[in-house]
């Protein structure tokens, strides 16, 4: 119970899965969820390292990440809603006008 | 560690599920699984405050927001499995595998050693200890966060706000419109008839019957009509005979041959009996 | 007032300031220059009287020249150098060039020749160009030429000389190509201009070297300091000046332009390409005697060039059927004689100038006569279409005959005295050179007799519709005057007058006993000429002249018709390599230089066309590249840490 390495490795795996999710899914909301998964993975690492080092800074950092994530989700989902409202689509590939 | 070894596979499987399920709602639910498990892991990592915050803020607020938006966008919207960008999936998987291998090997190479543990840090209680740090060392960051949250809230409002393109129609305008519709198209002036009021059933899916016995189409919701779940009033009349038989009253012999119209004519009477 | 270098015997240019009639020196140049300006700027408004003005102004110059000449004769022999300082032309650094005019015996004789013969040719041109719609422009160019030529011979420094030098080059170009609608004339003008550039390059290099060596381009300064410069410098200077002289005077190896230059109107050929401009090279050598006297090697080269040109031109003159080209070959040959004289040093300078003057008379006379014949033969220049013209054009015939007798050196005529003196001096200097000069005299007798016989004697071989008639008097009077001068030009040698007259410029030759007595040389020369004349009589006069040039001829004739392959040599050595070089450079420019310049943008453009496809608008692609970048950074970090 004194080694946090498995937590950190789990964090890495979850982060990777979230990363692949961002890259492969097309539904903007699912992409967003994958981003949240990545954020959570990093939170896990922060908390694990907090325990490793025996201070609470990691937990504070995770806390801030959560707060920022909350703000981000609010704005991000509002953007998705706005796009959906105008384009009738939540696919990230459909918003591809800004190109060559 | 037991909790970890139980939860870790669940979390990984759930996370992989997010990758593979086609419906966004399922993905959201799987994310909820991951987040809940994560909360438990926080508890195991001696972070009870984050445990609570994870459940309340993440699972409770953020995830619900996701679901809420999913409802707005369309629950049924599911991704096509066909990848449209050439090479995207292959490269994404390659990149993901590369990242995973890099992270795992990188982390495997370092030896963390025995964890210090948070017993000392959590001595006054985890929440008090966190509060001590938060309102001393991180107070500026905390205050900045409040500004961030306000900005985000305002931003979301601005984004979600829709400009009114036409002046809002008040009661006089609506009344005038109705009169005009009546004058030009002969539209019904009064309120729509409520469903099933004069029929045997007064459920919303049962149309009302007009005095001539025909069903009033406008008495049921158009949504229901489109779904084809509206029940016709005459079809409800097939148990009349049985009931009459039970009560030993047979006013008409040729009841079966009677046209549906006659049945509907009697409907008010039967309705009245109920 | 003139001094000599110790031992060298070379006079120093040390003029006194101009006063009296000499203060009008500038007017000699200014008159024709004004004429050119009026005629060329005035345009068609001067069409009606332009030719009269154009003819009057050189006559005015002639009158001034004559007055000054008389005045000069009135002066003491050692006070015959006059300089008129007009203004400072330009002043830059140490180079201070004044627009100064030098009037000395040499300039005086040239002034008389240029303005005198020039005036006669102007008068002649009134008749010759009567039917040309651009006559006024022609006179403008002629006046420009006269002004530039006068500037050339009057300037007190090499830079002013160069100004005139280029001016006559320009006028020559304009006048050769006067009938610019003929492609051959345009090409000939261009050829003359380009070949002259080669010579001019020598001139300009010489001027720069003068400035470097002496810090000045003034004759006075250079002649005073010539003794201090090293002999190598002087030799280089001499060779550079010779290069310039060769270009202007159509001497080997820059002779090729002169025959083509006959495309110009005949008065132009007479004035520029016979009497005056082409002799500028001789003037340059004689004027630069203080250089050549100190550079014996350069003098030797002058003699070699002169002998080659003398024989080369004579060879051409024998074979050409075009009357003007035959005369042009003769001109080249005669200038060879002058150059020979000039190359022989102090002993020859005066005779070179003497021959230059007599040649100016009789060659102008013959060119104008040829023009008169052409005028009567509908501008046909082929002598094979002439014959028996003497009856139709008696004045032309007689005047031409005077020129003929002068050029072959018939005893008593002007050419006899001048050529004989050069041959005599050449024999005294080097017997090989002398024999070559004698041979040239014989060939001169041959080709001039051939020309004479084919044109004026024998049977009529005229084209149909050709009715030769005597030219108007405005053309014949100059012919008569020139004929008279051709006959009497030898007077100048009476009592060695010209030698003494020129001695302030050329110096005095130490008296030496010639290896052969003068009278013997004269007799031999006359005999050689007689042999040439007789040969012509037997080969041309006794036979039927075919109307079409026979093709089955000896190599000698063929080479002569081809101008002794001068053009072929030029083409092979210069033109074709130049052409190949140019096309190679063009190819290089097109594909290498332009390739580099345009290739860069094209490459960037293509890369951008390909590269912009990366910006496909799909946010997931961008995310993928972010992941790739992050992976690279992480790997780099690992690699750095691992090391």
- In chain B, the residue whose alpha carbon lies closest to the alpha carbon of C624 is B92
CB-nearest partner of B66 from A3, A33, A56: A33
pLDDT tier at A59, thresholds 50, 70, 90 = very high
The 10 Å Cβ neighbour count of residue C219 is: 28
Distance from CA of A100 to the nearest CA of C (A): 6
Distance from CA of C601 to the nearest CA of B (A): 30
Q: What is the pLDDT of residue B273?
A: 39
Using one digit for the tens of pLDDT, what is the confidence trace for A19-56? 999 998 888 889 999 999 999 999 999 999 999 888 88
Mean pLDDT throughout C315-321? 86
Greater model confidence, C384 or A31: A31
Closest CA to C485 of C357, C634, C356, C615: C357
Q: What is the pLDDT of residue C9?
A: 53
- In chain B, the residue whose alpha carbon lies closest to the alpha carbon of A42 is B38
Q: What is the pLDDT of residue B233?
A: 61
Tell me whether A19 touches chain B (CB under 8 Å).
yes
The 10 Å Cβ neighbour count of residue C608 is: 12
Confirm whether the ipTM is greater than 0.85: yes
Up-side HSE of residue C177: CA atoms within 13 Å toward CB?
A: 16
* C-alpha–C-alpha distance, residues C89 and C164, integer Å: 14
Query: Measured between alpha carbons, how far is residue B272 from residues B217, B249, B268, C36 in Å?
Result: 22, 16, 6, 133
Structure tokens at C288: 């630069």
| Residues in C touching A96 (Cβ below 8 Å) | 616-619
Name the phi and psi angles at C543, rounded to 5: -105, 165
Contact A99 C619 (CB under 8 A): no
pLDDT tier at C170, thresholds 50, 70, 90 = very high
Looking at residue C617, the DSSP 8-state letter turns out to be S
Q: What is the pLDDT of residue C143?
A: 92
Closest CA to A23 of A11, A38, A9: A38
For β-strands C82-92 and C95-103, DSSP reports them as antiparallel
Contact B85 C620 (CB under 8 A): yes
Structure tokens at C519: 């009278």
Lowest mean pLDDT among A74-78, B112-116, B249-253: B249-253
Q: What is the pLDDT of residue B238?
A: 65
Q: What percent of chain B has pLDDT over 70?
A: 82
Residue B205 and residue B228 in contact, taking contact as beta carbons nearer than 8 Å? no
Name the phi and psi angles at C95, rounded to 5: -90, 115
Contact C627 B99 (CB under 8 A): yes
| Residues in B touching C635 (Cβ below 8 Å) | 102
Interface test with B, best of A53, A70, A76, A80 (most B CBs within 10 A): A70
Closest CA to B192 of B233, B220, B161, B158: B220
Which C residues 613-632 touch A at CB under 8 Å? 613, 615-620, 623-624, 627
Residue C517 and residue C433 in contact, taking contact as beta carbons nearer than 8 Å? no
Is the pLDDT assigned to residue B266 strictly greater than 60?
Answer: no
| Three-state secondary structure call for residue B18 | helix
Q: What is the pLDDT of residue C319?
A: 85
Is the pLDDT assigned to residue C144 strictly greater than 90?
Answer: yes
Q: What is the pLDDT of residue B76?
A: 60
pLDDT tier at B234, thresholds 50, 70, 90 = low
Mean pLDDT of chain C: 86
Distance from CA of C622 to the nearest CA of A (A): 9
Which A residues 37-66 touch B at CB under 8 Å? 37, 40, 43-44, 47-48, 50-57, 59-60, 62-64, 66
Distance from CA of B263 to the nearest CA of A (A): 48
Q: What is the pLDDT of residue B141?
A: 92
- In chain A, the residue whose alpha carbon lies closest to the alpha carbon of B44 is A1
Q: What is the pLDDT of residue B270?
A: 42
**Dihedral of CA B195/B201/B205/B211: which sign?**
negative
């Amino acid at each position: 119970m004194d080694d946090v390495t498995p937590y950190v490795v789990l964090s890495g795996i979850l982060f990777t899965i979230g990363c692949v999710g961002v890259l492969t899914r097309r539904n903007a909301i699912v992409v967003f969820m994958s981003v949240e998964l990545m954020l959570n993975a990093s939170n896990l690492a922060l908390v694990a390292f907090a325990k490793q080092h025996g201070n609470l800074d990691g937990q504070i950092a995770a806390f801030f990440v959560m707060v920022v994530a909350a703000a981000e989700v609010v704005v991000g989902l509002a953007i998705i809603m706005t796009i959906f409202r105008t384009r009738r689509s939540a696919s990230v590939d459909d918003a591809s006008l800004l190109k060559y | 560690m037991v909790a970890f070894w139980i939860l870790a596979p669940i979390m990984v499987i759930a996370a992989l599920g997010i990758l593979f399920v086609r419906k966004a709602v399922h993905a959201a639910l799987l994310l909820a699984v991951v987040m809940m498990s994560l909360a438990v892991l926080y508890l195991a990592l001696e972070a009870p405050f984050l445990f609570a915050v994870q459940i309340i803020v993440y699972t409770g607020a953020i995830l619900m927001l996701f679901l809420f938006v999913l409802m707005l966008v369309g629950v049924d919207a599911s991704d096509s499995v066909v990848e449209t960008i050439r090479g995207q999936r292959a490269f994404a998987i390659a990149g993901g595998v590369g990242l995973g291998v890099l992270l795992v090997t990188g982390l495997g190479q370092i030896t963390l050693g025995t964890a210090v543990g948070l017993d000392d840090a959590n001595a006054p209680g985890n929440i008090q200890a966190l509060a001590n740090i938060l309102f001393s060392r991180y107070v500026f960051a905390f205050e900045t966060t409040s500004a961030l949250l306000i900005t985000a809230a305002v931003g979301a409002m601005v984004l979600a706000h829709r400009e009114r393109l036409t002046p809002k129609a008040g009661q006089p305008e609506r009344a005038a419109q109705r009169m005009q519709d009546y004058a030009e198209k002969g539209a019904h002036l009064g309120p729509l008839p409520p469903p099933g009021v004069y029929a045997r059933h007064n459920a919303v899916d049962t149309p009302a019957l007009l005095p001539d016995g025909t069903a009033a189409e406008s008495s049921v919701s158009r949504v229901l009509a489109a779904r084809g779940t509206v029940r016709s009033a005459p079809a409800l009349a097939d148990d009349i005979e049985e009931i009459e038989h039970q009560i030993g009253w047979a006013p008409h012999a040729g009841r079966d041959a009677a046209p549906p119209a006659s049945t509907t004519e009697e409907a008010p009477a039967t309705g009245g009996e109920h | 007032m003139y001094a000599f270098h110790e031992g060298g015997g070379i006079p120093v240019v040390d003029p006194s300031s101009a006063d009296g009639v000499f203060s009008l020196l500038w007017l000699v140049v200014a008159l024709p220059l004004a004429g050119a300006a009026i005629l060329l700027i005035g345009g068609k408004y001067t069409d009606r009287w332009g030719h009269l003005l154009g003819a009057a102004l050189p006559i005015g110059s002639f009158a001034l020249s004559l007055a000054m000449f008389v005045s000069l004769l009135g002066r003491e022999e050692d006070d015959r150098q006059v300089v008129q300082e007009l203004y400072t032309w330009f002043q830059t650094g140490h180079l201070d060039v004044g627009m100064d005019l030098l009037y000395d015996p040499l300039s005086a004789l040239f002034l008389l020749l240029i303005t005198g013969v020039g005036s006669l040719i102007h008068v002649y041109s009134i008749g010759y160009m009567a039917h040309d719609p651009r006559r006024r422009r022609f006179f403008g160019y002629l006046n420009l030429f006269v002004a530039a030529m006068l500037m050339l011979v009057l300037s007190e420094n090499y830079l002013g000389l160069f100004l005139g030098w280029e001016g006559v080059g320009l006028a020559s170009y304009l006048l050769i190509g006067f009938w610019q609608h003929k492609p051959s004339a345009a090409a000939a003008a261009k050829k003359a201009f380009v070949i002259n550039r080669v010579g001019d390059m020598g001139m300009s290099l010489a001027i720069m070297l003068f400035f470097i060596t002496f810090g000045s381009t003034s004759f006075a300064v250079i002649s005073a300091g010539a003794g201090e410069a090293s002999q190598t410098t002087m030799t280089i200077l001499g060779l550079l000046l010779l290069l310039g002289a060769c270009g202007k005077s159509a001497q080997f190896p820059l002779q090729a332009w002169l025959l083509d230059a006959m495309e110009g109107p005949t008065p132009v050929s007479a004035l520029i390409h016979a009497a005056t401009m082409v002799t500028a090279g001789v003037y340059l050598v004689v004027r630069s005697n203080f250089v050549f006297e100190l550079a014996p090697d350069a003098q030797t080269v002058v003699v070699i060039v002169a002998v080659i040109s003398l024989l080369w031109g004579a060879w051409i003159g024998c074979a050409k059927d075009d009357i003007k080209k035959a005369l042009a070959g003769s001109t080249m040959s005669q200038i060879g004689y002058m150059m020979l004289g000039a190359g022989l040093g102090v002993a020859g300078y005066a005779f070179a100038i003497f021959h230059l003057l007599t040649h100016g008379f009789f060659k102008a006379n013959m060119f104008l006569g040829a023009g008169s014949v052409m005028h009567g033969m509908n501008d046909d220049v082929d002598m094979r279409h002439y014959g028996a013209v003497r009856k139709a054009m008696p004045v032309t015939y007689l005047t031409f005959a005077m020129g003929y007798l002068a050029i072959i050196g018939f005893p008593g005529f002007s050419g006899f005295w001048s050529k004989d003196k050069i041959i005599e001096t050449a024999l005294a200097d080097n017997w090989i050179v002398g024999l070559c000069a004698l041979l040239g005299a014989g060939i001169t007798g041959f080709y001039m007799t051939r020309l004479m016989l084919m044109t004026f004697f024998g049977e009529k071989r005229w084209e149909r519709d050709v009715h030769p008639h005597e030219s108007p008097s405005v053309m014949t009077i100059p012919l008569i005057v020139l004929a008279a001068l051709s006959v009497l030009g030898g007077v100048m040698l009476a009592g060695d007058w010209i030698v003494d007259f020129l001695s302030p410029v050329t110096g005095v030759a130490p008296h030496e006993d010639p290896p052969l007595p003068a009278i013997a040389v004269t007799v031999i020369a006359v005999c050689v000429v007689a042999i040439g004349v007789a040969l012509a009589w037997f080969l041309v006069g006794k036979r039927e002249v075919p109307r079409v040039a026979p093709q089955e001829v000896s190599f000698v004739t063929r080479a002569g018709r081809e101008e002794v392959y001068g053009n072929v040599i030029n083409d092979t050595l210069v033109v074709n390599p130049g052409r190949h070089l140019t096309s190679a450079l063009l190819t290089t420019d097109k594909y290498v230089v332009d390739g580099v310049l345009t290739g860069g943008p094209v490459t960037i453009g293509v890369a951008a066309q390909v590269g912009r496809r990366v910006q496909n608008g799909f946010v997931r692609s961008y995310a993928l590249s972010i992941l790739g970048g992050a992976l690279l950074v992480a790997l780099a970090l690992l690699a750095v840490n691992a090391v």
